[in-house]
Amino acid sequence: MTLSFKNKLLLALSLLLASTPSILAADGGSFDVVVYGGTSAAVTAAVQVAKMGKSVVIVSPDAHLGGLSSGGLGATDSGNRAVVGGLSREFYHRLWKHYQVEDAWTFQKMPMENGIPGQGGRGIDNSTQTMWVFEPNVAEKIFESFVQEYKIPVLKNEKLDREKGVVKEGATIKSISTLSGKTFVGKRFIDATYEGDLMAAAGVSYVVGREANAEFGETLDGVQVARAIYHQFQGFVDPYVERGKPESGLLPYVNEKISGKDGEADKLVQAYCLRMCLTNEPKNLVPIVKPEDYDELDYELLLRSIEAGQRVFMSFSPMPNYKTDSNNNLAVSTDLIGGNYRYPDASYEEREEIYQKHLKWQQGLLWTLQHNERVPQAIRDEYGKWGLAKDEFVDNNNWPKQLYVREARRMRSDFVVSERHLRYLEETPRSIGMGSYNMDSHHAQRYVAIDDQGRATVRNEGDVEVNPGAPYPIDYGAVVPPKNECDNLLVPICVSCTHIAFGSIRMEPVFMILGQSAATAACLSLDKGVAPQNLEYGDLQTKLLEDGQVLEYDARPRIVRSDSLKGVVIDNSKAKINGKWISGNVTYNFVDLDYVHDDNSDKDDKSVRFEFENLAPGDYVCNFSYTPHGNRATNVPITVQTSLMKFETAVNEKIAPKIDGLFVELGKIKVGDDGRASVEVFAKGTNGHVVVDAAQLIPIE
């Protein structure tokens, strides 16, 4: 059949549209899966949809793809790299391939494998052909290569209309619209933003802030004063504008009171910053400019912290070509503590104001360290070597445009991942990927405290850096909302979890893993004709494994639940703690969530007392649990007492416990009619680290 000129023209136009997905999406369109977000998780989600043969679009509120991975966070918080699989691992492999070419090394020679360190291992790992440290512009090129390779349409700078841009029928999202007026119809939607804007606009439940420890049986959630020993002021820092004069007012971002007691809930958000890409290479250096409205009062806290002894003010993690990923470090640094509380629910305009405040803070921070005469000359000389990288973030005066949103909204669904799941104290039946990094929270507030001399001084609160002990699985329930709220949305970043669990999950490799897994579930649920919440896990698991996701890890720690042991067991979390003990979970085995240790310091006033009540009168075996190590004390004093008797003993904690691999026997006791007994462990006079985990009483029949 001979085609007319008109039909030939129409055929050519249709072929052009079919081969150019971005044209199809120019004014919206209809897709199997609509991915909202420009993050690394958004890219892996979209790529997975394309690989599974479904139509997909990325609707990005940002101007650049990759989120933090292309926004300055080049020092990958990888944790155990063995559990990074699928497209996430492919990203780090493509980075490795990029840097195998000499032309990629524009300002330095190609280093040896050990030439650039990384977090948790080598920055360049030739044995696994992966690269874990990288320049922002290179990361963005990798993400762009992904979407080009799979012909994925991408619309940038398209912000969701959060007030009326989500159209639902019952619990089903039918379409989303952006502020520019573009509408995208989809069968499945994925919210891959750091803020969870689509999730919130769709009416899905979420929380902001820190839960109380008691809500989910955790130890590291809520307000954290006792554990806030890192990134802390080194000495006395007067909190008032005029020193010693409360009537003069507080310094900027210092609160008069703390938000609550240890372990209590609040609505505060851990601090944000910009992950600056700095360089000391003169050929590529842009000098730091003094902010136009610079006010020295904003940096008075910094200057007083220098007087108190602070000498380090940020990290300089080395990246290729003499660049850095520069992050918060010590008491006053790049984190603008308290400057982000409104961010999660803020309007776009207010978020931009918050971003500008963070930008100004860090610009002024660097300028102060380089030029303020109150800063010692040695510090000025050291920090004066650094400037912005001329070839990074060229459309934003060489500053990252992506704010490091460490945490914003967190979905609240039927399954809530908590510290207990990360520590294998609760089951994770439907793994879709693994995390392994520290449960990591930055400070959330500065407040006025009273030091040991009775003076008002500034303290930071909120920092937690605790290893979960081993890689852990993340449940499918974390990425799906309650079905009655939304039955066609998946959320791979603002997942359903607690604050402290998110502190570990919130790493870029994990977000990419969860993005791919969420997309897999979206596609399979379409194939099966069911809501994502009703998808058979066996089908999902099979496909995830086929695509290289890592769902389990053999080196599972041995953590024993107290309610699974004989007799009556009291864990350290329920004991009376005197003095400043530190939580630990690195050395196994132990009972419940953790153990505590005395840090081998300030021993005189430190003790842990286990108080048993409502015991049946009679004879008991009394046991004590600790984790052994070569640095432990050999003479840990313990007093055991009831109303009928008392004895004192000592334990050598270098020797491994024999009872269940956890306990040593202290002796036999007789409990009187009052049903009470106590076991008290002391640090005073010991010759090494003292570890206290649990006490156990087993009735003698």
100 pLDDT higher than 50: yes
119 pLDDT higher than 70: yes
Residue whose C-alpha is closest to residue 84's, from 437, 490, 606? 437
Average pLDDT of the chain to the nearest whole number: 94
17 pLDDT higher than 70: no
C-beta of residue 687 within 8 angstroms of C-beta of residue 646: no
**What CATH number did the domain enclosing 574 receive?**
2.60.120.260
Hey, what are 289's tokens?
A: 């400019």
Q: How far is CA 210 from CA 221, 411, 619, 674, in A?
A: 6, 13, 44, 40
556 pLDDT higher than 70: no
Q: Flag whether 683 is in a domain.
A: yes
Residues of the domain holding 564: 559-699
Q: Flag whether 675 is in a domain.
A: yes
Q: Flag whether 632 is in a domain.
A: yes
| Angle, CA 460 vertex, CA 454 and CA 463 arms, to 5° | 135
Hey, what are 101's tokens?
A: 């070419």
Q: Tell me the average pLDDT across 268-295.
A: 97
Q: Tell me the average pLDDT across 35-40.
A: 98
Domain count across the chain: 1
Q: What's the pLDDT score for residue 438?
A: 93
Which conformational region is residue 159 in: left (phi greater than 0), alpha (psi within -120 to 50 degrees), or beta?
beta
338 pLDDT higher than 70: yes
Q: Tell me the average pLDDT across 322-341.
A: 98
Full-model pTM: 0.84
Q: What's the pLDDT score for residue 118?
A: 87
Q: What's the pLDDT score for residue 555?
A: 66
For 297, residues 6+ apart whose C-beta sits below 8 A from its C-beta are 241, 251, 252
Q: Flag whether 385 is in a domain.
A: no
Distance CA 500, CA 260 (A): 17
pLDDT range class, residue 320, cuts 50, 70, 90? very high
Q: Flag whether 227 is in a domain.
A: no
Q: What's the pLDDT score for residue 26?
A: 59
587 pLDDT higher than 90: no
458 pLDDT higher than 50: yes
Q: Flag whether 652 is in a domain.
A: yes
C-beta of residue 421 within 8 angstroms of C-beta of residue 500: no
Q: What's the pLDDT score for residue 20?
A: 37
- Side-chain half-sphere of 144: how many Cα atoms within 13 Å? 10
Q: Flag whether 621 is in a domain.
A: yes
Q: Tell me the average pLDDT across 440-450.
A: 97
24 pLDDT higher than 50: no
244 pLDDT higher than 70: yes
Site of tokens 């004014």 = 27
19 pLDDT higher than 80: no
C-beta of residue 407 within 8 angstroms of C-beta of residue 270: yes
pLDDT range class, residue 634, cuts 50, 70, 90? very high
Backbone angles phi, psi at 329, to 5 degrees: -160, 125
Q: Flag whether 471 is in a domain.
A: no
- Tell me the sheet residues that pair with 620: 669, 699
336 pLDDT higher than 50: yes
Chain segment 150-173, per-residue pLDDT in tens: 999 999 999 999 999 999 999 999
In sequence order, what DSSP letters do the residues of 269-321 get, joined into one string? Answer: ----B--B-EE--GGGEEPPPPPTT--GGGGHHHHHHHHTT----S--EEETT
In sequence order, what DSSP letters do the residues of 72-114 get, joined into one string? Answer: T--B---SSGGG--HHHHHHHHHHHHHTTSGGG-SSSPPPPTT
20-24, 43-47, 656-660 — which one is most confidently predicted on average?
A: 43-47
| Angle, CA 678 vertex, CA 676 and CA 680 arms, to 5° | 170
Chain segment 378-420, per-residue pLDDT in tens: 999 999 999 999 999 999 999 999 999 999 999 999 999 999 9
